[in-house]
């Protein structure tokens, strides 16, 4: 056997094998496209078998044999034209012209072959060249319009069609003008054609896997964030888009259990959700029956919603239920203008994606559940912390008040006319004030937490705010140093709340300065639209890594716990919430040389020049710890 004969034999075996493969496929999924594919390879298989028989029984010379071969061969371009229509749609007249042309070629082959053999052969060449060429072009055009594995298979089909036509034409030319060169090229082209057709119409599973891989990876990459995205609707829209892209489809929808029993809700194109009965639409049927549904003509299958399908150009609809271990989660629908070219790939893919979406939605539900539990635990923990902090901090002054009051009571019982114990009464009043302050702090924190702290903003001169704070402390014998700009700085603030913030910062500065050195108040412009208030102390300072944490509720820095236990760790939390409610910021910086500087930055209405002038000379006064606590 020569190499040429070997190639011819391989071609014949492969073409017959391909016919068997598409026959098997058409029997399992009898669509119009699979029947037309069968027609294409059936015609070629018939030609191959006839050629074999002819060699075996020397039929080559008989007229009817040649006519039969020509008619069978001419079916191939007709099948191609029909396939083009299945894959991309063609005007009706193309189909009609194709059919008529086929009729003419077939009639010529049957009735005129014996008389005008060469003319009939030329007619067959023309038929192949024109119609087959058109089909090959249309396949190639369709390939550029699709995506993923479909595009690759379409490209292979287009290439196969091109090579096949070339092979047939060369074979005819070789009959008319025999040349050894053409005799070699023809079978080689046919071999290329049958391999390309195999890849297009019946690719082996390893090739299919390799071709699908990029689409799947792309889908996974896009949808992996689904479980983390907070907005459920946006998350679903993302996955819908990824699924449609993976299919190369017009669009995709995911329906999940609705707010009412027996409904499915879909993310709406306009934003928000649309809710339908869970057996409405083809999607609903797939969901309620828990089976995959393929509809190549959606409007006919579900006439009630024909207008919806038409407006979405959804002629073909494939729907698959999304389930996780028997649990019904929802439904995935893919729709497209025309039937998917290689539907078996799409069916496989839709089930895979539905499974993947089930996993993602499940993970999402779990994540939400876990976050819910965490936030409840956090709330419970805060409540507990709050109660124990409150109980602990209220108990100390309460014990003093009660102890002193009982002492007075006993004294009065012993000697009703004894002079009043002025120091005892003062102590009771002082501790009662502390109690009141602690209780207001607790209430403030709670109100701020609920976002209901009353704010009464008005344009205020910040210099005056500082002066008011300064005066209050001076009344207690604490003459703080104060630095202010010459130009007034105005800001829209709730004066009472801002004074409370500054009071708090000054009290802290006094509390956390062991040697009694007084803190300093500074007001300055931080540019044209910002005012900065600083409370500078030279106290114990705050460890750098706790600069942020001290603004948390109940947080007390590690270096002060042994110094004083009068704090609840709520003051700075209240300060921060209040300043932020004014559109400002508060933070702490180390004071050069030791201590802390708290900075409150607020939006200013009219900022002063940046240079500052000392208005009140520094008072070097060392307060007693009692006075500081009273303040
Ligand atoms: P507390 O009631 O404990 O003072 P705050 O919320 O006012 O609560 O302050 C939280 C923590 O920040 C304090 O416990 C302390 O550790 C630290 N802190 C606040 N102000 C100062 C300061 N001026 N110097 C040093 N540490 C401070």
Q: pLDDT tens across 325-342, in order?
A: 888 899 999 998 776 666
How many residues can be counted in the chain?
631
Report the alpha-carbon angle 360-363-364, nearest 5.
85
Measured by CA distance, the residue closest to atom 7 of ligand 1 is: 571
Question: Tens digit of pLDDT for each residue in 55-107?
Answer: 777 766 666 788 888 888 889 888 988 888 887 778 888 889 888 988 988 88
State which ligand 1 atom lies nearest to the alpha carbon of 541.
Answer: 25
Whether residue 591 contacts residue 490, with contact meaning beta carbons closer than 8 Å, is answered with no
Question: DSSP characters for 495-540?
Answer: HHHHHHHHHHHHHHHHHT-TT-PPPEEEEEE-STTEEEEEEE--SS
pLDDT of residue 621: 36
Question: Tens digit of pLDDT for each residue in 5-24?
Answer: 888 888 889 989 999 988 99
* Percent of the chain topping pLDDT 90: 32
Query: Across all residues in the chain, what is the average pLDDT?
Result: 85
Query: Is any atom of ligand 1 closer than 6 Å to the C-beta of 539?
Result: yes
pLDDT of residue 359: 87
* Percent of the chain topping pLDDT 70: 91
The number of beta carbons lying within 10 Å of the beta carbon of residue 317 is: 26
Element (H, E) at 166: helix 148-176
Query: Is any atom of ligand 1 closer than 6 Å to the C-beta of 596?
Result: yes
Query: Is any atom of ligand 1 closer than 6 Å to the C-beta of 14?
Result: no
The number of beta carbons lying within 10 Å of the beta carbon of residue 310 is: 12
| pLDDT above 80 (res 234) | yes
Residue 164 C-alpha to ligand 1 middle, in angstroms? 86
The whole-angstrom separation of Cα 570 and Cα 562 is 18
Question: Tens digit of pLDDT for each residue in 357-391?
Answer: 888 888 888 888 888 899 888 878 877 877 777 77
Token pair recorded at residue 23: 């026959």
Angle, helix 148-176 to helix 180-201, in steps of 10 degrees:
160
> Side-chain half-sphere of 69: how many Cα atoms within 13 Å?
21
Mutate to test the pocket of ligand 1, among 438, 509, 542 (most ligand atoms within 8 A of CB): 542
State which ligand 1 atom lies nearest to the alpha carbon of 595.
Answer: 24
The whole-angstrom separation of Cα 198 and Cα 166 is 17
pLDDT category of residue 518 using cuts at 50, 70 and 90: very high
Query: Is any atom of ligand 1 closer than 6 Å to the C-beta of 509?
Result: yes
Query: Is any atom of ligand 1 closer than 6 Å to the C-beta of 508?
Result: yes
Query: Is any atom of ligand 1 closer than 6 Å to the C-beta of 519?
Result: no
Query: Is any atom of ligand 1 closer than 6 Å to the C-beta of 537?
Result: yes
Query: Is any atom of ligand 1 closer than 6 Å to the C-beta of 540?
Result: yes
State which ligand 1 atom lies nearest to the alpha carbon of 519.
Answer: 23
Residue 554 C-alpha to ligand 1 middle, in angstroms? 10
């Amino acid at each position: 056997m020569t190499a040429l004969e070997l190639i011819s034999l391989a071609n014949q075996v492969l073409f017959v094998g391909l016919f068997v493969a598409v026959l098997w496929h058409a029997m399992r999924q009898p669509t119009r496209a699979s029947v037309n594919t069968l027609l294409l390879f059936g015609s070629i298989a018939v030609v191959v078998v006839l050629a074999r028989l002819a060699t075996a029984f020397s039929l080559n010379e008989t007229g009817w044999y040649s006519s039969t071969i020509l008619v069978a061969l001419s079916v191939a371009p007709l099948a191609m034209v029909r396939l083009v229509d299945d894959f991309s749609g063609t005007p009706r007249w193309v189909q009609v012209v194709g059919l008529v042309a086929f009729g003419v070629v077939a009639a010529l082959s049957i009735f005129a072959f014996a008389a005008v053999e060469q003319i009939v052969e030329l007619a067959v060449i023309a038929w192949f060249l024109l119609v087959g060429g058109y089909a090959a072009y249309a396949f190639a055009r369709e390939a550029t319009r699709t995506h993923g594995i479909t595009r690759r298979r379409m490209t292979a089909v287009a290439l196969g069609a091109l090579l096949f036509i070339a092979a047939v034409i060369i074979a005819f030319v070789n009959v008319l003008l025999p040349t050894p060169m053409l005799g070699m090229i023809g079978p080689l082209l046919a071999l290329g054609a049958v391999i390309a057709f195999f890849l297009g119409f019946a690719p082996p599973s390893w090739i299919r896997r390799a071709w699908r891989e990029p689409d799947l990876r792309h889908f996974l990459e896009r949808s992996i964030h689904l479980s983390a995205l907070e907005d459920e609707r946006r998350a679903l829209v993302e996955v819908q888009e990824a699924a449609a892209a993976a299919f190369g489809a017009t669009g995709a929808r995911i329906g999940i259990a609705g707010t009412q029993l027996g409904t499915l809700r879909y993310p709406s194109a306009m934003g928000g959700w649309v809710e339908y009965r869970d057996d409405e639409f083809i999607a609903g049927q797939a969901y309620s029956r828990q089976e995959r549904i393929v509809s190549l003509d959606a409007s006919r299958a579900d006439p009630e919603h024909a207008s919806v399908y038409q407006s979405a150009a959804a002629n073909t609809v494939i729907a698959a239920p999304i389930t996780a271990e028997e649990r019904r989660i929802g439904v995935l629908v893919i729709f497209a203008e025309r039937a998917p070219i290689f539907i078996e790939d799409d069916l496989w893919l839709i089930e895979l994606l539905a499974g993947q979406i089930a996993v993602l939605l499940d993970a999402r539900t779990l994540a939400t559940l876990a976050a819910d539990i965490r936030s409840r635990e956090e709330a419970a923990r805060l409540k507990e912390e709050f109660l124990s902090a409150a109980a602990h901090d209220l108990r100390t002054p309460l014990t003093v008040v009660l102890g002193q009051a009982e002492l007075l009571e006993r004294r009065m019982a012993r000697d009703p006319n004894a002079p009043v114990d002025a120091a005892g009464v003062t102590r009771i009043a002082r501790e009662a004030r502390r109690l009141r302050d602690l209780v207001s702090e607790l209430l403030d924190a709670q109100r701020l937490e609920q976002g209901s702290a009353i704010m009464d903003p008005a344009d205020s001169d910040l210099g005056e705010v500082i002066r008011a704070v300064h005066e209050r402390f001076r009344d207690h014998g604490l003459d703080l140093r104060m630095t202010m700009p010459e130009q007034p700085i105005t800001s829209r603030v709730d004066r009472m709340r801002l004074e409370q913030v500054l009071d708090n910062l000054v009290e802290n500065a006094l509390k956390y300065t062991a040697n009694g050195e007084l803190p300093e108040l500074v007001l300055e412009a931080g540019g044209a639209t910002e005012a900065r208030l600083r409370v500078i102390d030279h106290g114990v300072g705050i460890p750098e890594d706790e600069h942020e944490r001290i603004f948390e509720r109940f947080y007390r820095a590690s270096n002060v716990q042994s110094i004083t236990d009068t704090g609840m760790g709520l003051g700075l939390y209240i300060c921060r919430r209040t300043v932020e409610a004014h559109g400002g910021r508060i933070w702490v910086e180390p004071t050069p040389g030791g201590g802390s500087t708290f900075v409150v930055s607020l939006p200013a209405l009219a900022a002063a020049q940046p240079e500052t002038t000392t208005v009140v000379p520094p008072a070097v006064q060392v307060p007693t710890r009692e006075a500081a606590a009273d303040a």
